[in-house]
Amino acid sequence: MEILIISGMSGGGKSKAASFLEDMGFYIVDNMPAGMILKFAEFCSAGSGRYRRVALVYDVRTADTFDEFLEVLATLRQREYNCKLLFLEAEVDTIIKRYKETRRMHPLQERAGSLEAAVNREITLMAPVRAQADAIIDSTQYSTARLRGELLRLFGGSRDAGKMQVSVVSFGFKHGLPLESDLVFDVRFLPNPFYIDSLRSKTGLEEKVRDYVFSFRETGQFMEKLRELLGFVLPLYQEEGKTVLVIAIGCTGGHHRSVAVTHALSEYIRSLGYQVTENHRDMTRT
């Protein structure tokens, strides 16, 4: 079992890191007291595999001193668990700016008297924890995409962990646009199998309909240009940090042209190495 403890400065990026790690397959638990970590690790280890990768967020909110936590960390490292400690930090000015933007109070501010004093006090308190870290990320100059990329490099595990998932959905314009769409392509310009008596009752998943749709020169040209476009933009979406991209292909009713194109496009995107789901929203609707 893999246990990753996320710690560090308040405002250093722990919450964002936890969200990205959750996308990468980690089970996230926030603000867990040190005294419960060992029992939770034993519970997860005895499970059926659901908790194979666990990330625990532990920070200055949990205790005034970290002696108990450091003992727990040492115990976890001695046992059969694959335990690592990730420490996130940022420059003092950056943390102050982040707190002012969110208008939240630093957990030590009430006792410290000012935000700057609270941040500096936390640096002192967290020093023993930082010294035990397996990885330290200074998020001062990190964009969201860069933070995600660094976490993927450090803790991605399998090749597909954290990789962007692409959902390709066919739909009929008469039933409305899929609200979750990121990219929408209208294929109503293609010849319509609906007007062929022998094809009207079939769908774009059936060979005769696909053969008809792809027998036209404009279909081939459209697919060529669409593949070129997606081959260019998909890596950029993933680099930007997008975890799910929804591509919607629409025709009039969502039975024939959009279904055939969606099926072919899904196969192409899958060949590029992305995780792909194919869905035909309106194929059975009248």
**pLDDT, tens digit, for every residue of 32-66?**
888 889 888 888 888 766 788 999 999 877 766 68
> Is the domain of 139 the same as that of 172?
no
Query: Which helix (H) or strand (E) is 166 found in, with range?
Result: strand 165-172
Arithmetic mean of pLDDT, 155-176: 81
Does some domain include residue 286? no
In the sheet with 82-89, reading across from the earlier edge strand, the strands are: 27-30, 53-57, 2-8, 82-89, 135-138
For the chain, the maximum distance between any two Cα atoms, rounded to a whole number of angstroms, is 79
> Is the domain of 148 the same as that of 12?
yes
pTM of the predicted model over 0.75: no
> Is the domain of 74 the same as that of 216?
no
Calculate ∠ Cα 230-236-238, nearest 5°: 100
Amino acid at residue number 17: A
pLDDT value for 63: 64
Does some domain include residue 160? no
> Is the domain of 144 the same as that of 31?
yes
- Domain range for 216 is 165-280
> Is the domain of 75 the same as that of 125?
yes
Task: Name the domain boundary from 155, 179, 212.
Answer: 155
184 half-sphere exposure, CB direction, 13 A CA radius: 13
Please, where are the H alpha helices in the chain? 14-23, 34-45, 67-78, 92-102, 109-112, 115-131, 144-155, 207-213, 217-240, 257-271
Does some domain include residue 251? yes
3-class secondary structure, 49: coil
> Is the domain of 169 the same as that of 142?
no
Does some domain include residue 274? yes
Q: What is the mean pLDDT of the chain?
A: 90
Instruction: Give, as one character, the DSSP assignment of residue 19.
Output: H
Does some domain include residue 109? yes
Contact 107, 61 (CB under 8 A): yes
Task: Name the domain boundary from 104, 125, 155.
Answer: 155
The model's confidence at residue 10, banded by pLDDT at 50, 70 and 90, is very high
Give the Å distances, CA to CA, from 110 to 100, 106, 121, 126.
15, 8, 12, 18
Does some domain include residue 58? yes
pLDDT value for 242: 80
Cα–Cα distance for residue pair 65/121, rounded to 1 Å = 12
pLDDT of 254 higher than 80: yes
Closest CA to 201 of 213, 212, 209: 209
Does some domain include residue 128? yes
Q: Minimum mean pLDDT among 25-34, 90-99, 259-268: which range?
A: 25-34
Task: Name the domain boundary from 103, 136, 155.
Answer: 155
Does some domain include residue 95? yes
| Structure tokens, 260 | 């055939």
> Is the domain of 247 the same as that of 145?
no
Q: DSSP string covering 231-276, please?
A: HHHHHHHHHHT-SEEEEEEEESSSSSHHHHHHHHHHHHHHHTT-EE
What CATH number did the domain enclosing 128 receive? 3.40.50.300
